[in-house]
Amino acid sequence: MTFVQGPVRVRVPATSANLGPGFDTLGLALDLHDELEAEVAASGLLVEIGGYGDGEVPLDERHLVVRAMRATFERLGKQPSGLRLSCTNVIPHARGLGSSSAAIVGGVWLARELVAGGRLLLDDAALLDLAAQLEGHPDNVAPALLGGFVISGQDADGSFWAVPGSVDPRIGAVVLVPGSPVSTEAARGLLPADVPHADAAANAGRAALLVAALAGHPEELLRATEDRLHQQYRRPAMPESLALVEALRADGVPAVISGAGPTVLALTDGPGSVTTSELLARCPDGWDARALAISATGAVVVH
């Protein structure tokens, strides 16, 4: 096995998981991208960060992108003698927009590209499986890899799968991002071990409807994004976010908690619409609001 000469660059989108009822199974890629560059060096490890995480994340083997690269090299059978990594991060950290999944996907993708013939040795299905193993679940890494809307899960044997869905071109998104983070671990720690059967049944129906609503029935998005499994249980960690979701939904806006939160995701009928403008105007003080298109592509090499 040999390594390629020179740097490799990859761009990875932000993602929003769950989308209301699709807990740990549904995810959407958004048009907000981190860019990463790596190359094999003679020795050592150099990590440079720009944007989110600068001065906060470790710059050694603990860095999440480095860990993902190391796991991929291990799978491919050889570690390089040295690495140089540069990350330009525009996806907010710990806000429910898939920053960790973008790091993992960027890392596994970079490592594969740095190996000559890497795509023959590790196909996209194997790359998804490795990324999901590193993340623990596939709902964010799948759209980060594939783009668009993705339904994903895990089989009884532990293997992961992902199936792309369709997104009506009229549908866009507005993200309302609080200034303070909430860790995924803290948000998951609030979830009960068991839920009422009626709530599980209701969510199953809503998740199925959401697949159809995104594909071509945006008029059903409000009903389709109703959740009874996880959002309310997370209220203690993000009361302002839940209050905003409830206020928006009361006004007919299909709003949900993005991933583990605390970002609020509102689905719209496309960038530039009156709905989008009104949503941006409702951004609370101290929050950041962005209108984003759905990213049809996932991780891609940048030439």
Binding residues: 92-102
> How far, in Å, are 65, 67, 78, 103, 128 from residue 134 at the CA level?
11, 9, 19, 11, 10
- Report whether 112 contacts 127 (CB < 8 A): yes
Instruction: Name residue, tokens 């150099």.
Output: 46
CA 175 – CA 258 distance, rounded (Å)? 8
> How far, in Å, are 5, 52, 178, 192, 248 from residue 28 at the CA level?
34, 21, 20, 25, 20
Count Cβ atoms within 10 A of the Cβ of residue 230 and give its class: 0-12 exposed, 13-18 middle, 19 or more buried: buried
Q: What residues are paired with 255 via a beta bridge? A: 266
DSSP alpha helix (H) spans, the chain: 64-76, 99-114, 118-121, 124-135, 141-146, 184-189, 197-216, 221-224, 239-250, 274-281
Residue 92 DSSP code:
P
Count Cβ atoms within 10 A of the Cβ of residue 255 and give its class: 0-12 exposed, 13-18 middle, 19 or more buried: buried
CA 53 – CA 67 distance, rounded (Å)? 16
Question: Residues comprising the binding site for ATP?
Answer: 92-102
Angle, nearest 10°, between helix axes 64-76 and 99-114?
Answer: 40
For the chain, the straight-line distance linking the first and the last C-alpha, in angstroms and rounded, comes to: 23
CB neighbours (10 Å) of residue 157?
5
